[in-house]
Chain A
């Protein structure tokens, strides 16, 4: 399993490399793109995923000490938390569709600023700040529309690949839950739980890096 994870490290490593080069070259556009992400949802999702790693680790422990019912319980908890993560991700993706931030013909970084109808004074001020931000960014990088699309292409490729790994992990968990319901995992035989655990924690690690790299590029302005 570890050897497989090594290949996965290099697989994701290629994406992180592409990201690094483009971020270095188009820092301003990447900052603009990053600031459109919902930091609350991102932070909640990070916490959800870390908690799911804890329940996964607890499932391994339960199997090692022979608490069969706890194994099933912790595996189900992990599956539920993984699904919550994916659900929140769907909400985030939906927002990007609504805000015309999907790379392609309809892409427009100005869409939100031009089409929002602020209700309160605070919202209005917030929107004015964003408009000024975009104007400044355009002065630095005249082709911000294309370069912001690069950011969103990488955002969807990286979070999408990560989500795909989560879906595979969820499938493995369903299989583990079925086996564990038959009481198969014991202190003598628990390698499948251990191995799926390694995979699950690896996917968690990928997110630990994705979160600051995608959500927190340029927040301090």
Chain B
């Protein structure tokens, strides 16, 4: 693989990505202690996805990889999305017990 890609990512970029990831970690811990109601999980997953994207693009060199490699990565995400979306849709429409204890607000009202 390395023989084909020729492109060498400089240490400066690696260190910059490292600090971006540390910042993201700090941000996600901070955000977890704020009350954004149902958006806490959205924010947490959003930050995690940005961090994961940085790792894939720079640490894993996806940005400089051949198109074929990039296609494989996109396929992985796409198939994961199918698995999650269809199963959750099935659960949501089939299981009457779902959401019984779901509301994060339920505990405040107790």
Q: Write the residues of chain A forming the contact surface with B, with a CB cutoff of 8 angstroms.
A: 1-3, 5-6, 9-10, 13-14, 16-17, 20-21, 24-29, 31, 39, 43, 46-47, 50-51, 53-54, 56-58, 60-61, 63-65, 136-137, 139-141, 147, 188-191, 193-195, 197-198, 201-202, 204-205, 208-209, 211-213, 215-216, 218-221
From A21, A24, A194, A208, B51 is in contact (CB under 8 Å) with A208
Query: Size class of B's contact patch?
Result: 35 or more
Do the beta carbons of B22 and A47 come within 8 Å of each other?
yes
Do the beta carbons of A216 and B1 come within 8 Å of each other?
no
Beyond the given A17-B88, A29-B101, please list 15 additional residue pairs across the A-B interface where CB-CB is below 8 A: A1-B1, A5-B76, A9-B76, A9-B80, A10-B76, A10-B79, A17-B83, A28-B106, A39-B29, A50-B21, A194-B2, A208-B48, A209-B52, A216-B32, A219-B33
Q: Write the residues of chain B forming the contact surface with A, with a CB cutoff of 8 angstroms.
A: 1-3, 8-11, 14-15, 17-18, 21-22, 25, 28-29, 32-36, 40, 44-45, 47-48, 51-52, 55-56, 58-60, 69, 72-73, 75-77, 79-80, 83-84, 87-88, 91, 97-104, 106-107, 110
Closest to B98 in A: A25
Do the beta carbons of A26 and B87 come within 8 Å of each other?
no
Shortest B34–chain A CB gap in Å is 6
Nearest 8 Cβ contacts at the A-B interface: A216-B32, A212-B44, A6-B76, A139-B110, A54-B18, A219-B32, A136-B110, A220-B35
Do the beta carbons of A21 and B1 come within 8 Å of each other?
no
Q: If the complex has contacts A6-B75, A28-B106, A57-B9, are A216 and B28 also in contact, measured as CB distance less than 8 A?
A: yes
11 A-B interface contacts by CB (under 8 A): A10-B76, A17-B84, A27-B102, A29-B101, A47-B25, A50-B21, A61-B8, A136-B110, A140-B101, A188-B3, A216-B28
Q: If the complex has contacts A3-B72, A9-B80, are A25 and B110 also in contact, measured as CB distance less than 8 A?
A: no
Interface of B is mostly: helix
Q: Name the A residues within 8 Å of B101 (CB-CB).
A: 25-29, 140-141, 147
Q: Name the B residues within 8 Å of A63 (CB-CB).
A: 2
Q: Name the A residues within 8 Å of B88 (CB-CB).
A: 17, 20-21
Q: If the complex has contacts A205-B56, A212-B45, are A194 and B29 also in contact, measured as CB distance less than 8 A?
A: no
Q: Name the B residues within 8 Å of A51 (CB-CB).
A: 18
Q: Name the A residues within 8 Å of B58 (CB-CB).
A: 57
Q: Name the A residues within 8 Å of B79 (CB-CB).
A: 6, 9-10
Do the beta carbons of A53 and B2 come within 8 Å of each other?
no
Shortest B69–chain A CB gap in Å is 6
A50 to B103, CA, bound (A): 33
A25 to B107, CA, bound (A): 14
